[in-house]
C-alpha cells in the first residue's frame, strides 16, 4: 500500500493505493492542529502495517510540521516530499519553481501525457488555479484567482447587507432576489470564466486543448459550462501517486 497525503487550505486529503485501487478520504484542515490529530486520522483510516511508501504535498505550511512529525512517529519510512526537483514527466523549465505550489505540480503531472493535444487544468479549490501544459508536457504557466467559496465569503464579510449563502441549490441566470443573484454570480460567473479563459488560451496557442476540471467546487459550475470538459475528481491524488512511482 502507498499513501498519498495532501494538506490544502481547506482539506487534508489522504489517499491509499493498493493493487491499483485508490481510496480517498477528506478531513477539514481547520479541525487539525497537532501531530496527534494527524496520527489519529492516519491510523484510523489505514492499515499501517501494509504501508510501503508515502508521498506528501502541502500548501499549508502551518500544518506541514505536524504531518511530518506524525509520519516519523507512525512509520519507519522517509516520505517523498513534492517539489520541483522530483523526477517527473512535466517540464517546468519556463517557470519560477520557487513559487510553484506542490498541488499545481501534482495536477499537471497527472494530466501530462494523457492527451495528444495541450491541456488546460482548472482546479476549483480554496483558490481556483488554471494551469496550461503543451503537447510535449511543458508547463506554460497559468492563472490564480479567488475560489468560489472564497468569493462568497468575501461578499458576506466585506459588505453590510449581503447574506452568507452556500451553493447547495441551483439558481436562475437572472436572480429575482439577493440570494439567487449571488448564487448566479458565483455559478454562472465562474462558468463564464472557464469558457472565456479556455477560448483565450486556445487563441493564444492557436490550437484546441483538452480541458480538465477538478477540485471541490467544480461540481457547482460544470452543469452550466459551455465548454466540453473532462472531470477528474481525484486528479491531485492521482498525480501524487504518479510522482511517487517516478521517484522510487
Query: Which residues are designated catalytic?
Result: 103
Determine whether the annotation assigns residue 178 to a binding site: yes
Determine whether the annotation assigns residue 91 to a binding site: no
> Please, are residues 80 and 53 in contact by the beta-carbon 8 Å criterion?
yes
Determine whether the annotation assigns residue 102 to a binding site: yes
Measured over the CA atoms of residue 221, residue 146, residue 210 and residue 15, the dihedral's sign is negative
Determine whether the annotation assigns residue 13 to a binding site: yes
Determine whether the annotation assigns residue 103 to a binding site: yes
Determine whether the annotation assigns residue 212 to a binding site: no
Q: Any idea how long the chain is?
A: 248
Determine whether the annotation assigns residue 120 to a binding site: no
Residues paired with residue 144 on neighbouring β-strands, in sequence order: 129
Determine whether the annotation assigns residue 104 to a binding site: yes
Determine whether the annotation assigns residue 141 to a binding site: no
Determine whether the annotation assigns residue 113 to a binding site: no
Distances (CA, A) of 26 to 13, 51, 98, 216: 5, 19, 28, 10
Residue 233 makes CB contacts below 8 A (sequence gap 6+) with 214, 218
Determine whether the annotation assigns residue 183 to a binding site: no
Determine whether the annotation assigns residue 6 to a binding site: yes
Q: Binding site for substrate: what residues are annotated?
A: 101-104, 178
Q: Binding site for K(+): what residues are annotated?
A: 123
Q: Binding site for ATP: what residues are annotated?
A: 6-13, 126
Q: Binding site: what residues are annotated?
A: 6-13, 101-104, 123, 126, 178
Amino acid at each position: 500500500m502507498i499513501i498519498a497525503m495532501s494538506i490544502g487550505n481547506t482539506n487534508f486529503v489522504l489517499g491509499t493505493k493498493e493493487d491499483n485501487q485508490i481510496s480517498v478520504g477528506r478531513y477539514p484542515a481547520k479541525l487539525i492542529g497537532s501531530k496527534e490529530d494527524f496520527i489519529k486520522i492516519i491510523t484510523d483510516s489505514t492499515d499501517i502495517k501494509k504501508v510501503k511508501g508515502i508521498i506528501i504535498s502541502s500548501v499549508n505550511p502551518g500544518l506541514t510540521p505536524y504531518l511530518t512529525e506524525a509520519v516519523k512517529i507512525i512509520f519507519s519510512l522517509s516520505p517523498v516530499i513534492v517539489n520541483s526537483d522530483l523526477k517527473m514527466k512535466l517540464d517546468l523549465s519556463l517557470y519560477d519553481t520557487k513559487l510553484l505550489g506542490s498541488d499545481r505540480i501534482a495536477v499537471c503531472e497527472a494530466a501530462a501525457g494523457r492527451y495528444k493535444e495541450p491541456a488546460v487544468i482548472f482546479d476549483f479549490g480554496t483558490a481556483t488555479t488554471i494551469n496550461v501544459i503543451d503537447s510535449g508536457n511543458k508547463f506554460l504557466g497559468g492563472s490564480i484567482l479567488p475560489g468560489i467559496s472564497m468569493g462568497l465569503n468575501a461578499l458576506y464579510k466585506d459588505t453590510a447587507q449581503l447574506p452568507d449563502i452556500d451553493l447547495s441549490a441551483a439558481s436562475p441566470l437572472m436572480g429575482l432576489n439577493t440570494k439567487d443573484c449571488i448564487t448566479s454570480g458565483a455559478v454562472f460567473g465562474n462558468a463564464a470564466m472557464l469558457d472565456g479563459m479556455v477560448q483565450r488560451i486556445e487563441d493564444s496557442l492557436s490550437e484546441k486543448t483538452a480541458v480538465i476540471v477538478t477540485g471541490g467546487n467544480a461540481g457547482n459550475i460544470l452543469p452550466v459550462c459551455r465548454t466540453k470538459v473532462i472531470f477528474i475528481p481525484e486528479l491531485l491524488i492521482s498525480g501524487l501517486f504518479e510522482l511517487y512511482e517516478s521517484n522510487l
